[in-house]
Amino acid sequence: MLKKGIIIQGSANSKGNTNKAVVYFKDKTGFDFIDLKCKDIAPFDYEFKNKYDDFLPLIKDIAQQYEVIVFATPVYWYSMSGILKNFFDRISDCLMIEKETGRQFRGKKIGVISSSSDGQPIEGFEMPFRESANYLGMEYLGSAHTWVEEKELTIKAKERLTWLSEVTME
Ligand SMILES: Cc1cc2nc3c(=O)[nH]c(=O)nc-3n(C[C@H](O)[C@H](O)[C@H](O)COP(=O)(O)O)c2cc1C
């Protein structure tokens, strides 16, 4: 029996603004949580010399256990964080040396939490998530863009996270 969901946080700050949104979302959903900053995940390597780092055990675990995956990332230079992009690049391992795991992603669902300096969603920010979901045979549920003012998540950010919690729990 698959567990409902997991939040995969990829921020350079484990307890920063992205994490504020994650904590709010986790409280609503009860989803499990992984902080990629605490994992040893090297960039993609065509020779797979990195295959004994934390990526393969982690991705196998996620594939076997969860129905919904929510990626949480700050906006760094109009894009997802480098930590999360490394994780996405390594999903290519699942198309090359770990195909059985790659196939297990079909039918699962993806959501996104983003955090930037203001409330304006970044044009094109969702595209890599939506298209990657599409490529892997997954369903893209949408994103909640958040920001923090005076160290607090804004009301609008909380509303967006509540919406995402509802669609991911359906
Ligand atoms: C390296 C870096 C790049 C950033 N680039 C952007 C950007 O392109 N657009 C934006 O609105 N904010 C940008 N910011 C601000 C962060 O998105 C924002 O402070 C976010 O809430 C940080 O989340 P964190 O505490 O989890 O890192 C950037 C911050 C950093 C450190």
3-state secondary structure of 15: coil
Find the 25 Cα to ligand 1 centroid distance in Å: 19
Whether pLDDT at 2 is above 90: no
Determine the average pLDDT of the residues in 44-66.
97
Rounded to the nearest whole angstrom, what is the distance from the C-alpha of residue 67 to the centroid of ligand 1? Answer: 29
**Cβ-based neighbours of 9, under 8 Å, separated by 6 or more:** 18, 19, 22, 33, 34, 35, 36, 37, 72, 73
Can you list the domains of the chain with their CATH numbers? Answer: 4-169 (3.40.50.360)
Give me the phi and psi of 160, to 5 degrees please.
-65, -40
Q: What's the whole-number mean pLDDT along residues 116-128? A: 96
Q: What is the pLDDT of residues 57-93, one digit of tens each?
A: 999 999 999 999 999 999 999 999 999 999 999 999 9
The confidence score (pLDDT) of residue 3 equals: 87
For every residue of 37-74, DSSP letters joined together read GGS--PPP-TT-TTTTSSHHHHHHHHHHHEEEEEEEEE
Band (pLDDT 50/70/90 cuts) for residue 53 is very high
Cα(114)–Cα(45) distance, rounded to whole angstroms?
A: 27
- pLDDT value at position 42? 98
| pLDDT > 70: percent of the chain | 100
Output the six-digit token pair for 50.
């990195």
Mutate to test the pocket of ligand 1, among 23, 113, 117, 152 (most ligand atoms within 8 A of CB): 117
- pLDDT grade, residue 55 (50/70/90)? very high
Cα gap 142→67, rounded to integer Å: 15
